[in-house]
Structure 1
Amino acid sequence: MAECCGISSEQQQLDKKQRQLLWTVLILNAIMFVVEFVAGWIAESSGLIADSLDMLADALVYSVSLYAVGKALRYKANAALLNGILQLSLASLVIIDVIKRYVVGSNPDADTMLSIATLALVVNIACFLLLYSSRNGDINIRASWICSRNDMLMNTGVIFSALLVGSQQQAWPDLLIALVIALFVAHSAVRIIGDARKVKRGELTDISSCCG
């Protein structure tokens, strides 16, 4: 029946496997977004809040990829456009938060930063390993794998900033890593919006810049 409709049983199995994989990494990133955001708010850490934004951005990317499995390109482009706008808005809020904390001052908890950022790194390593075997396959899975690879670098940056906050007893390392992450997410969002618009105009055949 599926083959009569132009969809082979093999393609159906592949789509099912992709959905299961994307659901797994989506749930992991969504949970870590909540954990990091709450911890960052309590610990007065812009770095953790920004890293939670990065987790949310990935969850949105995975949502778009999940939505796009087996769908026509125009649906993927519309979803990606909304994704990019949301990411850009959230990145702007983090940048505003960094400026506010720089002006009024903050006292980030280095121990909380270190423990939560390490947990986030473990989660992203798990996502990276889950996606690794499919990194050369469908473009949605490949883009998701690149996201996890980039996230590990971000997590490492937050860990390093936590060590600096603890040793220097100053907030600037936390603010600096938060600004870097927010700018990275904003840059990725702009590329997503640009590519989505190009796809809608027929200038591109896929959206591959989800993670900058």
Structure 2
Amino acid sequence: MAIAAALTGSFMLAEAIGGFLSGSLALLADAGHMLTDFASLSLAWFAFRIARRPADWKRTYGFDRFQVLIAFVNGIALIAICAWIMVEAVRRFNSPVEVMGTPMLVIAVLGLIVNIAVFFVLHSSPEQNLNMRGAILHVLGDLLGSVAAIVAAIVILTTGWMPIDPLLSVLVCLLILRSAWYVTSQSGHILLEGAPAGVDIREIERDLPQSVEGVLNVHHVHAWAISEERPMVTLHARLAEGASTDITVRAIKARIAERFAIDHATIEVEGLHCADEAMKRAS
């Protein structure tokens, strides 16, 4: 992640200068992506460092959620940049700007080489969570932006048709937006304590009484995730009379891990009455 940030940041300045000199929106758009990439890659690197810190008395689950927060910020940044580029593209359709094809082509080719190198550096990482996918998405957007700039430069040099520059910029934005929305929505879902992907608490309520001996009823089920890799669940389980608490709780945990791929489960065991419901009635 640090290598990718250094490569991206070093070329971003050259591309921004080239975009201003050539008048190319495609290059400026790509430089804008690279600016956010440099920031997002740096933040993602920082998030990985922070996430390694152990839990303490204030943050009992540790710092894994920080990576999800950074992924959310990266997704929002991508959507905002795409919106800016589209507005600028509409303006250029109405008022075409002269673009210098040759410097645009040279800088775009160099940018493509850098972006390919950064993409492979990130893609080779064993970490493939939302934070890493958000960073890869930023770089993929840069890579597509460089390809679009190359195509636009060739069209301008061969035909002189200037609208190709904003047209391809809009196309790249549309390709990026879908994935940017996915990263943003998924990270937002985790931040809002949504149920992990593939976990339906209604299914947990139905499954456990049928599959675990001694369980009569399951309720007050809550499932969420600290990060993509750390799903969790809490629930109340009413046990049959005479059922062994230790054995049944172990069986519930094993079933949840096997059936729903959740290794962290907190079980509150009940007899005839739910303590929470009794407290509600009493109040």
TM-score using structure 1 length? 0.74
Q: Which amino acid aligns with 2:8?
A: N
Aligned-residue sequence identity (percent) comes to: 23
Distance 1:35 1:169, change over 3 A: same
Displacement of 1:142 in angstroms is 6.2
Question: Where does residue 195 of structure 1 map in the other structure?
Answer: 186
Q: Which residues of 2 match residues 16-55 of structure 1 at below 5 A?
A: 22-55=1-34
Match of 1:8 in 2: none
Amino acid at match of 1:195: Q
Question: In the TM superposition, what whole-angstrom CA distance separates every residue of 1:128-170 from its partner, at most 9, and x where no partner exists?
Answer: 3434543x44435566456545643432232122101111101
- The structure with the largest helix share of the pair is 1
Change in CA separation of 1:47 and 1:65 when aligned onto 2, cut-off 3 Å = same
Over alpha carbons, which structure has the higher Rg? Answer: 2
CA contact (8 A) 2:7 2:114 kept: yes
Question: What is the alpha-carbon distance in structure 2 between the residues aligned to residue 23 and residue 192 of structure 1?
Answer: 21
What do the CA deviations read for 1:54-101 (whole angstroms, capped 9, x no partner)?
323433442342132151232122222222222222222111111111
State whether structure 2 residue 155 is matched by structure 1 residue 155.
Answer: no
More strand by share: 2
CA RMSD of aligned residues (A): 2.6
Distance 1:179 1:142 in 2: 22
| Distance in 2 (alpha carbons) for counterparts of 1:149 and 1:183 | 13
Find the counterpart in structure 2 of residue 83 from structure 1.
74
Instruction: Structure 1: give runs of 5+ residues left out of the alignment.
Output: 1-21
Counting only pairs closer than 5 Å after superposition, residues 166-177 of structure 1 correspond to structure 2 as 166-177=157-168
Structure 1 residue 124 corresponds to structure 2 residue 103: no
> Partner letter of residue 86 of structure 1?
A
Q: TM-score by structure 2 length?
A: 0.57
Tell me the distance in 1 between the aligned counterparts of 2:144 and 2:176: 13
What is the number of equivalent residue pairs in this alignment?
186
* Cα distance in 2, alignment partners of residues 55 and 48 from structure 1: 10
Q: Contact 1:50–1:181 at 8 Å: present in 2 too?
A: no
Q: Which structure 2 segments of 5+ residues have no match?
A: 52-62, 197-224, 230-283
Q: Secondary structure at the match of 2:161?
A: coil
For residue 91 of structure 2, the aligned residue among 100, 104, 108 is 100
